[in-house]
A and B are shown apart, each in its own frame.
Chain A
Amino acid sequence: MSGSESASSRPEPASSRRELLGRASSRLIAGAALVCAGCGASQSATSTRKQISPGAEALDVVLLNELLDAEHRAIAAYSNGIPLLSGYNQRAARNFLGDEFNHASELISLIGHHGGKANRAQSSYNFGSPQSEDDLLRLFERIERQQIGVYLAAIPIVTPGRMRAALAAILGSDAQHIAILRKSLGTPPLISPFVTAAG
């Protein structure tokens, strides 16, 4: 059974159903290609990467901006996917979106603290063509995994211990999202005793 069948066969309150039907056109658009408007940003991430003030830890700032790019991407995915979800999945995704905003805010603060300029979100992201709630949850899981990958790559490289700890705290949160997303999908929530981008 596809995710969309599952979503449409779920006994929903009438208003929720109407809401879903009312969003049919946007769902179709999402089906064609979930190209998301990104948080009002008009410039691409690469064009907004600015010079780092002298003396600042340039590599750390570059790494932090790469993490921020991943957060922007996750924010765009959740922001655009949430209206297409229902019930618990929607509530969970909203919660995760709030976490991603907090993560982005922390990174922006760290970048500023190290004399850097925070990248802005891209004007659009191409997330493919999710056709159902399950497709969206799988998309979110993929995006969270990509985040895990970039955080695991960055943590051993960034210099200050305090910054490493801050990044690890975000990594843990993204790992939690994956476990809950997988549980919602009916897949085993824990894949491995060592959380990596692959498993």
Chain B
Amino acid sequence: MSEPRSRRRLLADGARLAAAGAAGGALSSACAAGAETRKKPPPSDAMLVAQLIVLERVMQDVYGRAITSGQLDSGGLALAHEVLGHERIHESELRRQLRLLSGTALPVPRSTKELEKELAKHHTKVALDRHRSGRGWLKLLVDVEDVLERNYHTAISILRSSSLLTLASEILASEAQHSALLGDLLSPRNVQKALPNAFINGT
């Protein structure tokens, strides 16, 4: 219901939407170094926050699907519920920040196709409707957490506001913890496999 209204607002603000789309592109493709050296100006803080909100929503959707799949065991289910709560809080705080910046929210993907398209933009090709085992869902959640980590990591290299930098860092650290615990479920008591990287940048 709210989507058409949101779309109209966005269409009326076409230039901003286009710029915000560029922000999405910047987030999905720019590495930290590239973002600094690219010739066109980097996306604004509002654009970056708007794109992160979209990804937080994608994340929530995928966690929701994992929860309702009936495939997760009790440990996986408990973690998924807890992380889903975190992602909602992240989104809520980012939306608050976007309002403070007088920024424009981007439309969030609603259908399965839109979700898959959004993930594909971030180099994660996935068929969400495919049947998965509990382990398969956990692996998918790890992949999607990687997408978020990559985007927060990139945003931290571009954001200008100190408070947003702190917020993005706190959320990146939170996403890193989610990955660690998902990894621990996939490889119990094998910390080398659960936490394979000394640097968390979503790669």
Which residues of chain B have C-beta atoms less than 8 A from A194's C-beta?
89, 93, 167, 170-171, 174
Considering the complex, which residues of chain A in the window 166-198 have a beta carbon less than 8 Å from any beta carbon of chain B? 166, 168-180, 183, 189-190, 192-196
Tell me whether A171 and B172 are in contact in the complex, defined as CB-CB below 8 angstroms, given that A178-B177, A193-B86 are known contacts.
yes
Complex alpha-carbon distance, A155 and B159, angstroms: 11
User: In whole angstroms, how far apart are the Cα atoms of A160 and B158 in the complex?
Assistant: 9
Stretch at the interface among B8-16, B28-36, B106-114, B116-124: B28-36
Residues A168 and B152 in contact, CB atoms below 8 Å apart: yes
Contact B169 A180 (CB under 8 A): no
Given contacts A165-B32, A179-B180, contact A172 B156 (CB under 8 A): no
| Nearest-neighbor residue (CB-CB) of B183 within chain A | A176
Tell me, yes or no, whether B90 is within 8 Å of chain A by CB.
yes
B198, A156: Cβ atoms closer than 8 Å: no
Contacting residues of chain B (133-167) with chain A, CB-CB under 8 angstroms: 149, 152-154, 156-158, 162-163, 165-167
A155-B201 contact, Cβ under 8 Å, with A176-B195, A178-B177: no
Are B177's CB and A169's CB within 8 A?
Answer: no
Query: Is B128 in contact with chain A by the CB < 8 A criterion?
Result: no
B74 an interface residue at 8 Å Cβ cutoff? no
Q: Find chain A residues with CB under 8 A from B85 CB.
A: 193
CB < 8 Å neighbour of A195 from B87, B89, B177, B189: B177
**Are the CB atoms of B198 and A195 closer together than 8 Å?**
no
Interface string of A133-170 (1 = CB under 8 A from B): 00000000000000010011001110011101110111
Residue of A nearest to B35 (CB): A161
Residues of the B chain whose Cβ atoms lie less than 8 Å from the Cβ of A155 = 156, 165-166, 169
Say whether chain B's binding surface is mostly helix, strand, loop, or mixed: helix
Main secondary structure of the interface of A (DSSP, over half): helix
Bound-state Cα–Cα, A88 to B194, Å:
13
Contact: B166 with A179, CB < 8 Å? no
Whether A190 contacts B181 by the Cβ 8 Å rule is: yes
Given contacts A152-B170, A156-B162, A162-B33, contact A95 B157 (CB under 8 A): no
* Interface status of B17 (Cβ within 8 A of chain A): no
Note all chain B residues with C-beta closer than 8 A to A190. Answer: 82-83, 86, 174, 177-178, 181
Please, which residue of chain B has its CB at the minimum distance from the CB of A192? B174
Contacts of A31 in B (CB 8 A): none
Interface residues in B11-29 (C-beta closer than 8 Å to A): none
Name A156's contact: one of B83, B90, B166 (CB within 8 Å): B166
A99 proximity list for chain B (CB < 8 A): 195, 198
Q: Give chain A residues whose Cβ lies under 8 Å from the Cβ of B86.
A: 190, 193
B residues neighboring A (CB under 8 Å): 32-33, 35-36, 82-83, 85-87, 89-90, 93, 149, 152-154, 156-158, 162-163, 165-181, 184, 189, 191-192, 194-195, 197-201
**Which residues in A have some Cβ–Cβ distance to B below 8 Å?**
88, 91-92, 95-96, 98-99, 102-103, 106, 148, 151-152, 155-157, 160-162, 164-166, 168-180, 183, 189-190, 192-196
Further 17 A-B residue pairs, CB within 8 A, beyond A92-B191, A173-B199, A193-B87: A88-B191, A95-B192, A98-B198, A103-B198, A160-B36, A161-B36, A161-B157, A162-B32, A168-B153, A168-B156, A169-B199, A172-B153, A172-B173, A172-B176, A190-B181, A193-B86, A193-B171
